[in-house]
Amino acid sequence: MASLDDLKKRITSVKSTQKITKAMKMVAAAKLKRAQESAEKGRPYSEKMNNVILNLSNGISDKETAPKLLSGTGKDKIHLCVVMTSDRGLCGGFNSNIIKKAKNYFGEILKEGKVLKIITVGSKGNDQLKRQYGNKIIENISFKNSKNANYFDAEKVGRIIIEKFEKEEFDICTIFYNQFKNVITQIPQAQKIIPLNTESADENELEDSYEFEPDEDEILNNLLPKNISTQIFKAMLENSASEQGARMSAMDNATRNAGEMVDKLTIQYNRSRQAAITKELIEIISGAESL
């Protein structure tokens, strides 16, 4: 049984931890509001850009001359998966949910006998995947020094993907991230960005007729690389909001658990203290009676 001194030290330690988790919850709550606003503002822009590109692609008469970023290589052999996680932990199941989604996809790809290549964006994803898929990871990108998700970081990732595609190092590129729904719920997503996924298009948007100048091919050659960076930026914004929401929820649970532990330890401490006092009284009374 733990001594009174040990129990007292443990109560003090748990209380200190509780203060830290409570402070982290408050910080996450403050960051969440900004991150959520950014994610919600980014969704319409990325969706509209996708629809504009699909409208442009419908105007191309000769599909064989369409840009490779739009139509792909025509093959389905080499898959590049960009797994986007955080650089920090203590955010519940945020990172593990993305990794689980990605691993399920990896399993299907390898089962079909296709080649798998992985780029990890965020150190936590790299730490979890390198144990099982270390030989598949071709690059690890980390933005530990960046306080918030920004377009320049997304453009950096986009350039790396486009360079590898131009060198014919892969046929299909898919990004994995968490879509923010609310503080409790974040939904893991797998989005194909090369070639462009036409299944996600808004039919109402595609029904509209537009006239473009210059030619569709020329516009697409300029717009497609920007679209890839935009989709990656959207994923970063969604991840940022999801991370803060998951951290806020995790720290709230940790704070409540610490409070419950303090209560239990305090009861144990009081009982032990009462038992020690009772024992001393019995010894005093027994000694007095013996005299």
Residue type, 92: G
* pLDDT score recorded for residue 208: 54
Q: What is the DSSP letter of 7?
A: H
Q: How many CB atoms sit inside 10 A of residue 148's CB?
A: 13
Chain centroid to Cα 183, Å, comes to: 13
> In the prediction, which pLDDT does 236 show?
95
Tell me the two tokens of residue 220: 């697409």
pLDDT at 257 over 60: yes
DSSP labels for 262-288?
Answer: HHHHHHHHHHHHHHHHHHHHHHHHHHH
Q: Is the pLDDT of residue 235 over 70?
A: yes
Residue 45 identity (one-letter amino acid): Y
Residue with tokens 């369409």: 66
Please list the active-site residues: 91
**Taking the model in full, what pTM does it have?**
0.86
- Looking at the domain 22-250, which fold is it? Pyruvate Kinase; Chain: A, domain 1 (3.40.1380)
Query: Residues 99, 128: contact at Cβ < 8 Å?
Result: yes
Q: In the prediction, which pLDDT does 291 show?
A: 61
Strand-pairing partners, residue 177, are: 189
Q: Which amino acid is at 257?
A: N
State yes or no: pLDDT of 178 exceeds 70. yes
CA dihedral angle for residue 125, residue 126, residue 131, residue 134, rounded to 10 degrees: 130
pLDDT at 211: 67
Helix-, strand-, coil-residue percentages of the chain, each rounded to 5 = 65, 15, 20
For residue 276, is pLDDT > 90?
no
Identify the pLDDT of residue 262. 95
> What's the confidence (pLDDT) of residue 62?
62
Tokens 């690890």 -> residue: 140
How many percent of the chain have pLDDT more than 90?
A: 64
Map out the domains of the chain as residue ranges: 22-250
Candidate from 5-9, 145-149, 166-170, 261-265 with smallest mean pLDDT: 145-149
Percent share of the chain, pLDDT over 70: 91
Q: What is the pLDDT of residue 115?
A: 96
The Cα 227–Cα 229 span in angstroms is: 5
Question: To the nearest whole number, what is the mean pLDDT of the chain?
Answer: 88
pLDDT of residue 65: 67
Mean pLDDT over residues 133-154, rounded?
90
Both tokens of 59, joined, read 């105007």
- Mean pLDDT for 236-255 is 94
Condensed to tens digits (0 to 9), the pLDDT of residues 193-230 reads: 998 876 555 555 545 556 667 777 778 888 899 999 99
